Amino acid sequence: MRRILPAFLLIVSFACAPQARAQGSDPQAATPSAQVRTTARKLLASGSPEDAAKAADLLARAAEIDEHDAAALKAQAETAKLKQPPEGESGWKVLVDITPFLSFVIVALGFFVNNAQARTAEREKREEAVRQRKSDADKAARELQTAEEERWSHAVALIQKSEDFSPAAAILSTFRNGPHAALARDTAVSVMLNAKKFSNFSDLFNTFIEPVTQDNLQQVLTMLRSVSITVAPLLSKAWVNERSDPSVLTPAEADSYNLLVRVRTFLGAKAAAFLRQKRQSTDVLDFSDMGFDGIDLSNADLRNCIAPYTWNFVNLDGADLRGMRNVANSWVYSTAWWHAAYIDAGFLDLLLERSPFKPGQSSNTPRGISAEDYRAEVARLRAQSAAGAAQDANALARA
C-alpha cells in the first residue's frame, strides 16, 4: 500500500490540473464606432461646411453601430446565460470527469487490500499448521512415553517372576536406549550379579556397560566391590597354609568361588584398561573393600586413590602410587610392587614389611624379578621418597 501512494498522488495532481487558460492582458482593440467618431472629430476640426455635413453623417453611423453592438452584446450575454449550467452542476461535472480515475483507484486499493488479506490468511494458515504439528508431536511423545512406562512396568514384573537368566537379559536388552536406559542398566547390574554362569554375566556386561568410561567407571567399581565382598569368605576358607586350596570348599561353594573369582578378574581387567589411560579427573578413586586379581595396572596414575583390600598378581610396572590412602588395610600378594614409578615412604615401609621379595615367588610383571632387581628398585624408591619429602619440607618452609 505504501508503494502506490506516491503514484496515486501524482495521478491526482495531473487529473485535477486546471483546464482554463489565462486570458491575455493586452488592451481591447478600438471599436468601429470609436474609429468613426474619431474621423468625424477630425472633419469638424477643419471648419468646412462640407466636412461638417460629413461629420454629422459619420456620427449618426457611429450611433447605429453602437446600437447594433449593444444588441449583439445583449444577445451574446443571453446566449451565454442559457449555456451556463445550473448552480451546483459544475461540481457534478468535475465528479463525472474524475469518476473513471476514482474507479481505478478504488479497484487498485481493493486489489492491494485483498492481496494483504490473502498473505495474512496464508501466514496464519502456516502458523496454525506449525502449531498443529507441534501439538501432534507432543501428543505422540506423551503416548510413546506412556507406552514405554507400561512396557517397562511389564518388563520388571516379568523379570521378578523369571527364574532363568535368558528371558531377563532378553527383556532388558530392549531398553538400551530411551528414558528407561539408566534403570535398565541398574537392573541389568542386579541381574548380572545374580548370574549363575560367567557367559551370562559377560554377555549382559558387554550389552549394557562396555566400554568402561569416566561416566560408568564408578558403576564398574561398585560391581567389583560387591563381588569382592561376596567372595571374601570363600577366599578365607580356601586359604590354607599360605596358599589357596579350593578343594576344601563344598561343591556348591567351589562353583560360587570359581564364578566369583572369574567375575572379579573380568571386572578388574575392564577397570584397569580405563585406569591405564591418561587420568581424566583428579577425583579420588575409591578401591576400598575390593580385590585386584591378575590385572595389568602398568603406568596407571593411581595418585591419592583409596587402596584396594588386596593386590594379587597385579602388574604395577611404572604405576604412580603417591598419596595412596588406606594402605594399612591393603595386602599385596605375588606382585612386584617395587617396579612402581613412585611410592610414598610410609606405604613403602609397609610393603617392605608385609610383602618383601621371596625367591621363587610368582608375579605379573613381564620384566621378571630377582633379589638384585628387588634391592635396586627399593633403593630407587627410597631415594625418590626422600627427595620428595625434602621438596615438601622446603616448600613448607618457604610458605
Identity at 244, one-letter amino acid code: S
pLDDT by position in tens, the chain (length 399)? 444 444 443 344 444 444 434 344 444 446 777 887 888 788 777 777 787 777 778 787 878 887 877 877 887 777 777 666 555 555 556 666 677 777 777 888 888 888 888 888 888 889 988 999 898 888 887 877 777 677 666 666 656 555 555 666 667 777 777 777 778 778 888 888 888 889 888 988 988 888 999 999 999 999 999 999 999 999 999 988 878 889 999 999 999 999 999 999 999 999 999 999 999 888 899 999 999 999 999 999 999 999 999 999 999 999 999 999 999 999 999 999 999 999 999 999 999 999 999 998 889 999 999 999 999 999 999 999 888 767 766 666 676
Label residue 276 exposed, middle or buried (CB < 10 Å: 0-12, 13-18, 19+): middle
Q: How far is CA 352 from the centre of its chain?
A: 56
C-alpha cell at 130: 506449525
Q: What is the pLDDT of residue 19?
A: 40
Cα 348 to Cα 343: distance, rounded to the nearest angstrom: 6
Residue 30: count of CB within 10 angstroms of its CB:
9
88's torsion region: left (phi>0), alpha (psi -120 to 50) or beta? Answer: left
Q: Pick from 280, 328, 286: which is nearest to 301 by CA?
A: 280
Give, in degrees to the nearest 5, the angle at Cα 378 between 375 and 380. 110
Q: What is the pLDDT of residue 9?
A: 39
Domain residue spans of the chain? 136-210, 211-398
Q: What is the pLDDT of residue 386?
A: 87
C-alpha cell at 236: 578365607
**This prediction's pTM:** 0.61
Name the pairing type of β-strands 243-244 and 239-240. antiparallel
Label residue 8 exposed, middle or buried (CB < 10 Å: 0-12, 13-18, 19+): middle
Q: What is the pLDDT of residue 11?
A: 41
Residue 289: count of CB within 10 angstroms of its CB:
16
Run of H or E residues at 260: helix 251-275
C-alpha cell at 316: 604395577
